[in-house]
Amino acid sequence: MRIVLIGETAFGEKVLDTLAKRGEEIVGVYTSPDIPGKKNPVKQLALQLGIPTFQLKGMRTPEVYDEYVKLRPDLNVMAYVTTILPESILDYPRLGTIQWHPSLLPKHKGGSAISWAIVNGDTKTGITIFWPDKGIDTGPILLQKEAEVSPDDTAGSLYFNKLFPLGVEAIVESVELIKKGAAPRIAQDESQSTSEPLFTEKEAIIDWHQPVGKIYNLIRGANPRPGATTNSGGRRFKVFDSALLAGVAHSLPGEIIDITKQGFVVAAPEGAILIKQVQIEASPKIEAADFVDQAGLKVGDRLDDHGDDSS
């Protein structure tokens, strides 16, 4: 079975490596263009394996299609893909195209599924291997695997510790089912569908008047990207590592109520947040205790979402 792999990042690299070690015939690899100063792990591995490699911003031109069909693929495997493929390429292989998505479709369609699962307070998520069509994360399901969202999971820990290995395992299992002619096509239940926008800095602004559980979910969902944003005296910074402190004595929302060696504690309705790690603008992340000294924070100061802590 001739496979074309389309993928990016460490996930695409791991899928390529796993399939190659299992003896699958990878006849071509498509990945994203190089970024100055960064290595492309998919490209590097593909070249090491001697596989024809193509780096494209998109795959919608006639020239790309003409080059692609020369590979005569039986199956496309999409392993972390951030562009939408044209139907001409999706439908070309005789066995079709499969794609990995880090949620239990039809829930959390879109490019920030992991973050939104945490922000929304989900206690369960997972991965889906599906047969993509012209829509965004639409098309029938081949298989799914569930994963627990732990109370202190961040988007980073949920992805790397759970959804990443599950996804690699599921793609391998899917390829085996396809080879056996036993891969299902289960229609998505659109009555259960949810879809969210990309989780950007705009969505990751902390409102300290929200219940503390919601704030903690927002911080976790924004860690490691894009970081949850707040302000101290007009100075914007991002919050990363943190801890939920329930049942702390009532104080004004956003008020710093304690400073410790671990960081500083900020009050919110129904509890407080211990902030352990922050980032100022484009600077490296630093320990919150160091930020306290740099910013001159003290108990009684208030954080907010717009740079005016006089409210």
Domain that holds residue 268: 201-304
Q: What pLDDT, on a 0 to 100 scale, did the predictor assign at position 224?
A: 98
Same domain, 210 and 170: no
pLDDT: is 83 or 212 the higher one? 212
Same domain, 220 and 188: no
Give this prediction's pTM: 0.95
What CATH number does the domain containing 135 carry? 3.40.50.170
What average pLDDT does range 98-103 have in this prediction?
Answer: 98
pLDDT band at 115 (very low <50, low <70, confident <90, very high): very high
What average pLDDT does range 73-92 have in this prediction?
Answer: 95
pLDDT: is 235 or 23 the higher one? 23
pLDDT digits (tens, 9 = 90+) for 282-300: 899 999 999 999 999 999 9
pLDDT digits (tens, 9 = 90+) for 51-66: 999 998 889 999 999 9
What average pLDDT does range 228-252 have in this prediction?
Answer: 91
What CATH number does the domain containing 278 carry? 3.10.25.10
Domain boundary at 169, 192, 215, which? 192
Q: Look at residue 310 and tell me whether its pLDDT is greater than 70.
A: no
Q: What pLDDT, on a 0 to 100 scale, did the predictor assign at position 307?
A: 47
Domain boundary at 142, 172, 192, which? 192
Number of domains in the chain: 2
pLDDT band at 84 (very low <50, low <70, confident <90, very high): confident
Q: What pLDDT, on a 0 to 100 scale, did the predictor assign at position 144?
A: 98
Q: Look at residue 311 and tell me whether its pLDDT is greater than 80.
A: no
Give the chain's mean pLDDT: 95
Q: Look at residue 221 and tell me whether its pLDDT is greater than 60.
A: yes
Q: What pLDDT, on a 0 to 100 scale, did the predictor assign at position 284?
A: 95
DSSP line for the chain? -EEEEEE-HHHHHHHHHHHHHTT-EEEEEEEPPP-TT---HHHHHHHHTT--EEE-S-S-SHHHHHHHHTT--SEEEEES--SPPPHHHHS-STT-EEEEESS-TTSSBSTTHHHHHHHTT-SEEEEEEE---SSSS-S-EEEEEEEE--TT--HHHHIIIIIHHHHHHHHHHHHHHHHTT----BPP-GGG--B-----GGGGB--TTS-HHHHHHHHHHTTTTT-EEEEETTEEEEE-SEEEEETPPP--TTBEEEE-SS-EEEEETTEEEEE-EEE-TTSPPEEHHHHHHHHT--TT-BEESSS-TT-
Domain boundary at 192, 215, 239, which? 192
Same domain, 114 and 250: no
Same domain, 7 and 156: yes
What average pLDDT does range 206-215 have in this prediction?
Answer: 96
What average pLDDT does range 208-231 have in this prediction?
Answer: 97
What average pLDDT does range 179-192 have in this prediction?
Answer: 97
Q: What pLDDT, on a 0 to 100 scale, did the predictor assign at position 308?
A: 43
Same domain, 47 and 158: yes
pLDDT band at 306 (very low <50, low <70, confident <90, very high): low
Q: What pLDDT, on a 0 to 100 scale, did the predictor assign at position 58?
A: 87
